[in-house]
Structure 1
């Protein structure tokens, strides 16, 4: 398990070696019969604005998917990396490299007057209004309650086992911040994520045909921990992206015969239940003994 990193003013990092993660091949599999095993030492770091801006911005673009163009990602990345003692990056080999993963929390009330945050909040409110299951999120965001917005993303081939240590460290860091009278005492946490359906390709003999994804198509998770976090949620659900069009499924084709239709996802968890949700995630992603 990764150690809690120091809350030093200079953002000094502490590395950690997690045996549940280290011996994973590049796509997260541990099947010796199909893949060569690569021993990788992942390290957790505090944010460094001089190093992490571009890597975090790139991962934000991936997290927000096709709608990322609606936001000022540079301003959001700046907010994240300026929080040196809240949240983590995961890297390999050296602190100076770009992050392979990141996780953080933003105080939406504290940053409400910043345009990058207000634009994102307005977007989340509008999307929550499209799904009755997300109605509690509308009430919280419009009343400016102390909501912590969790943003987390990693490269697609990163093993999910890196995530529980990041969440555990976040809990420790928030507790320390609250003790220091910093504005990280929340009533709820809102996790922004994404899901997808497999859909039929719109390509046929070089001609494009319009086809809609079946409403009963099964939902899959880009982040497998979301399936566990939802069990502890006060509200959760998906929404369609604003910039979605019929070309997206084929441009994201990840299967021989099927395309991928992505959806935004929101998970709202009461602060009192957050630690239990993180523990359940850790139990779920731990390898069998």
Structure 2
């Protein structure tokens, strides 16, 4: 599909002026520049498509008379050009927003876009790091100064307990009094869960406690260099540095350690509902994505349980 500059768009002045006002309103409401730019491009391409599809520049009356099949034809053309489900859903969202604006301010009927179901978005699979890489990242932080001990303890909580990085950095000293055997974590949506702490992770926590130059009796447990609560961004930056030093892929992020915890427990025979509780997922379907990652366990379960597996 050929792009057109705004001044050359095959649409009448009323449509172009309304589009300019709509885009300006999006920017004024605080939408990111990238989002506004994407909606500008999507509606520009839609108006160019409509001019060819209907045989002339788009007018308000043409937009008012549109049918769901016209919107589907545009999305089908974008799909033929290689645009995938997630981007098609964004395109439809922007188109609905533009037409709803025209409905409110110019009286057109925007029902055609609302009647079209959003394209399905492929659910992205977690990208856990391998067990060896996870252990390497944790051990790489050990043996240094108190900051290294702190980072090793945080990474230990991500990989050994399945915590989110914000949950780990959000722990308070009152929750971490020794011996640390169980943690009560308040996760997304205020959902609370109890997480057991492995002895190896507890040892990393105590190594940090002994090395820290702060009295960790109240306030934040994990501290930054100046004594304030450790920021998740600092953990992410440290992880990026270790990725480069250890030759690990860009997918080796703090959250990938949480994914590793789930997939490695599942591979070891862990119950899916128990993993759901440990991760703090509200729905089992969220946890079930890890079964798609661990194909080897599913094959082994089939081989062990199916009566014809050895035939």
TM-score bracket, normalised by the shorter chain, equals: under 0.3
Q: TM-score, normalised by structure 2?
A: 0.23
Provide the TM-score with structure 1 as the length reference: 0.24
**Greater share of strand residues, 1 or 2?**
1
Bigger Cα Rg: 2
- Structure number with higher relative contact order (C-alpha < 8 Å, ≥ 6 residues apart): 1
